Amino acid sequence: MTRKRIPSADRRALILEAARKVFAEAGYEGAKTQRIAAEAKISEALVYRHYSSKLVLYRAVLRQLIREQDANYRTMYLPEPTTAGLIHSIRNYIEISLSETGGRMHEGLRMLLASLAGEGGYASLVYRRAQRKMQHQIQAALHAARAAGEMEGRFLSSQNLAMFQEHLGTMLNMVGALPNKVELYDNDALVQDAIWFCCRGIGLTDNAIRTHLEA
């Protein structure tokens, strides 16, 4: 019986998925093309036929991750530069961070943390992109909240706030990725508590938070 030939595009996608899993588990340095081939159930020679080196394959995985991150950022854009828009963005980000229970987002986060512990190139790229996409929106919303009397205390750097939000989301998602499902939080209250934690940290008043969350 003749074995059905897998189209080249499907083969590349299969290799990419296998590589993503292996890079997430072992990091770039620890990942071996033999293991990627075994995960994809193909020969190592076929891996090199489609991707000329481990570095080329790693970069292809990173491009895929960045496209997925961009899709997530689109759901977090502030609908308007107001207090309500800022709270809406924070709520969406927290919900995305906590609702992603599958492996794909966790794989990307493991690669991010491996990069932070290693050469740092990928992590630097991810965080710079987050900063560019969110900082100016956050800054405009902060000024609007202050003008509306819905913020008090010291005015914080919008650059730092964008990074604080990104890092909090990263850590919350990684807790969900723990293999033994350690219960570190009161999960029934986690989404609301995380939103209130972020909003109070920014300096929004309790009345503003309550009003816009319930709207």
For the chain, what are the domain ranges? 7-60, 77-214
Tell whether the torsion through CA atoms of 138, 142, 143 and 148 is positive or negative.
positive
Is the pLDDT at 181 greater than 60? The verdict is no
**% of the chain with per-residue pLDDT over 70:** 87
Q: Helix, strand, or coil here: 32?
A: coil
More confident residue, 67 or 182: 67
Is domain 7-60 given the CATH code 2.30.30.230 in the classification? no
Neighbours of 159 (CB within 10 A): 14
DSSP annotation of 5: P
Q: What confidence tens digit (pLDDT) does each residue in 99-148 have?
A: 754 556 677 777 877 777 777 777 888 788 777 777 888 889 999 999 99
Q: What confidence tens digit (pLDDT) does each residue in 32-86 have?
A: 999 999 999 999 999 999 999 999 999 899 888 888 877 766 666 667 889 999 9
Could you tell me which of 169, 3, 66 has the C-alpha nearest to residue 58?
A: 66
Task: Quote the tokens at residue 13.
Answer: 């996608």
More confident residue, 193 or 108: 193
Could you tell me which of 103, 104, 61, 91 has the C-alpha nearest to residue 169?
A: 91
Local confidence band at 1 (pLDDT 50, 70, 90 cut-offs): very low
Non-local (6+) Cβ contacts of 1 within 8 A are: none
pTM of the entire predicted model: 0.72
Task: Quote the tokens at residue 138.
Answer: 């956050």
Q: What confidence tens digit (pLDDT) does each residue in 164-176 have?
A: 887 887 788 777 6
More confident residue, 201 or 174: 201
| Average pLDDT over every residue of 143-155 | 93
